């Protein structure tokens, strides 16, 4: 995550800024990825990190990208083979076309929050969202007016994604009467991508990613903080 799926943190950014197009071009090229190849992302964390790769690949213009439902655990349970061999690296560069998925910078989020003209969905767990505890960032709480949709609600008891119909119904209830656009956030723009994937799976219109998320929002002490 820190080495491949994010750029170095700056004095004003969140914890996981987007990689540059050049970084992604080199990374995808080192994997041997080309525009005609299927990319499948997986992890052992319910898709929490794999969803960031899914979003980055789509943002960079790679259409053929999917998540392995159930992740590494499901693969092992199905009898899929495992390897410890290090794959040989490619030497080319991927033709990145950045900006193919929407994102929203902090100044636009601030303006939308102030005017009540957007809906923020925060993917962090309820305790962090409410401000009851904050084990990662220096300030606890949430952006005032944000809705809480912990990313693990997208999964069933077996750790697989709920059906598109179930996800569509849950997001419809969450967003009923809320203004557009819809913007997804979390602590640093990682698990927010899980909600974006679930919304895509549900057939909803693409929502924007607030990349900096909570860890960027609190960099400016003048920005309001909500607690509940």
| Sheet containing 119-122: order of strands | 147-148, 119-122, 182-185, 208-209
pLDDT band, very low/low/confident/very high, at 107 (cuts 50, 70, 90):
very high
**120 within a domain of the structure (yes/no):** yes
**5 within a domain of the structure (yes/no):** no
pLDDT band, very low/low/confident/very high, at 83 (cuts 50, 70, 90):
very high
Residue 40, φ and ψ in degrees, nearest 5? -120, 120
ω into 82 cis (within 30 of 0):
no
CATH code of 146's domain: 3.40.250.10
Say whether pLDDT at 95 is over 80: yes
Q: How many domains does the chain have?
A: 1
- What are the tens digits of pLDDT across the range 119-158? 999 999 999 999 999 999 999 999 999 999 999 999 999 9
Of 186, 196, 199, 209, the catalytic one is: 186
The Cα 222–Cα 227 span in angstroms is 16
The Cα 112–Cα 116 span in angstroms is 6
> What is the reported pTM?
0.96
**33 within a domain of the structure (yes/no):** no
**204 within a domain of the structure (yes/no):** yes
**94 within a domain of the structure (yes/no):** no
Q: Name the residue range of residue 118's domain.
A: 106-217
**61 within a domain of the structure (yes/no):** no
Extract the tokens encoding 175: 């967003």
* Amino acid 128: pLDDT: 98
**Residue 186 is among the residues annotated as catalytic for this protein:** yes
- What are the tens digits of pLDDT across the range 56-79? 999 999 999 999 999 999 999 999
């Amino acid at each position: 995550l820190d080495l491949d799926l994010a750029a170095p943190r700056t004095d004003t950014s969140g914890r996981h800024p987007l990689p540059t197009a050049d970084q992604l071009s080199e990374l995808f090229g080192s994997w041997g990825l080309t525009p005609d190849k299927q990319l499948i992302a997986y992890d052992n964390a319910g898709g929490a990190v794999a969803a960031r790769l899914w979003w980055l690949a789509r943002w960079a213009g790679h259409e053929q990208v999917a998540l392995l439902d159930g992740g590494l655990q499901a693969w092992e349970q199905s009898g899929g083979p495992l390897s410890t061999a290090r794959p040989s690296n490619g030497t080319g560069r991927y033709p990145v076309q950045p900006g193919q998925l929407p994102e929203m910078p902090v100044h636009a989020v601030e303006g939308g929050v102030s005017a009540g003209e957007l809906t923020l969905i925060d993917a962090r767990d309820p305790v962090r969202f409410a401000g009851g505890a904050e084990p990662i960032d220096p300030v606890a709480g949430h952006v005032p007016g944000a809705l809480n949709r912990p990313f693990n609600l997208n999964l069933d008891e077996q750790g697989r994604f709920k059906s598109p119909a179930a996800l569509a119904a849950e997001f419809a209830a969450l967003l009923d009467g809320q203004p557009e656009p819809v913007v997804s956030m979390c602590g640093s723009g990682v698990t927010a991508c899980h909600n974006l994937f679930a919304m895509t799976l549900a057939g909803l219109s693409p929502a924007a990613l607030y990349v900096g998320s909570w860890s960027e929002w609190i960099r400016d002490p003048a920005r309001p903080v909500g607690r509940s």
